[in-house]
């Protein structure tokens, strides 16, 4: 290794300091100009349309279908399980979301969101009859949960059960006609009456 004079050491140290500062400044400038934005993702099944979710840098670096958290952890943690199921649902991977929603119902048989989401996932995967049964069970367990009545009305109408659809949509509307779910129920009722 060559010997450096004190002046060469000083120049070398100043160069390293300048280089480090330049890298820091450029990185900081880039981060300030391109912040991690809140992006609209496909709607989770039980959120309203205007809801947006924030993506993390981990999610951006992942390949589709890649898990951040080991399945053994999410299996018993309802929050993580719900997040994963909603991601799959939003990605239209209904078949993969179905077992997760079933597991959520096992963990909490009273959770109306899980019945709603499972019923919709079954419907979108081509099993509308099974979806209707789950939605009916959910409305029986949680008759005050407005969104599940809307989902039951929607799936019933799509399956040709106009009488059940009208009844469920009226119930969804009557629970709160002024919120987004009530307004959507009113809109679907109007379309149903035009048939």
| CATH number of domain containing 80 | 1.25.40.10
Q: Give the sign of the dihedral formed by CA 176, CA 177, CA 179, CA 184.
A: positive
Residue with the bigger pLDDT between 146 and 32: it is 146
Per the listing, tokens 């309203």 go with: 48
- pLDDT for the residue 51: 38
Q: What dihedral do alpha carbons 148, 170, 43, 179 form, nearest 10°?
A: -110
- pLDDT for the residue 24: 87
pLDDT score of 52 more than 90: no
Average pLDDT, the chain: 80
Q: State how far the Cα of 7 lies from the Cα of 152, in Å rounded to an integer.
A: 80
What are the structure tokens assigned to 37, written together? 């934005």
Taking residues 86-95, what's their average pLDDT?
92
pLDDT score of 145 more than 70: yes
Q: Is residue 25 part of a domain?
A: no
- pLDDT for the residue 75: 66
Q: Is residue 49 part of a domain?
A: no
Hey, what long-range contacts does 85-88 have (CB within 8 A, 24 or more apart)? 85/117, 86/44, 86/45, 86/46, 86/117
Full residue range of the structural domain in which residue 180 is found: 66-194
- pLDDT for the residue 71: 54
Q: Is residue 103 part of a domain?
A: yes
Q: Is residue 153 part of a domain?
A: yes
Q: Residues 53, 36: contact at Cβ < 8 Å?
A: no
Count of the separate structural domains present in the chain: 1
- pLDDT for the residue 59: 44
């Amino acid at each position: 290794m060559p010997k450096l004079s004190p002046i060469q050491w000083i120049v070398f140290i100043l160069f390293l300091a300048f280089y480090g500062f330049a890298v820091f400044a450029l990185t900081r400038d880039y981060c300030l100009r391109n912040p991690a934005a809140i992006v609209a993702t496909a709607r989770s099944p039980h959120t309203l349309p205007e809801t947006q979710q924030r993506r993390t840098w981990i999610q951006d670096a992942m390949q589709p279908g890649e898990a951040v958290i080991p399945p053994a952890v999410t299996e018993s943690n309802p929050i993580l399980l719900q997040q994963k199921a909603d991601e799959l649902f939003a990605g239209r991977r209904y078949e993969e979301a179905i077992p997760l929603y079933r597991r959520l119902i096992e963990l909490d048989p009273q959770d109306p969101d899980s019945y709603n989401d499972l019923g919709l996932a079954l419907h979108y995967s081509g099993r509308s009859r099974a979806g209707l049964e789950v939605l009916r069970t959910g409305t029986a367990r949680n008759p005050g949960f407005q969104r599940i009545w809307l989902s039951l009305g929607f799936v019933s109408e799509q399956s040709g059960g106009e009488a059940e659809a009208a009844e469920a949509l009226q119930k969804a509307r009557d629970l709160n006609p002024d919120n987004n779910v009530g307004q959507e129920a009113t809109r679907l009722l109007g379309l149903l009456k035009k048939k």
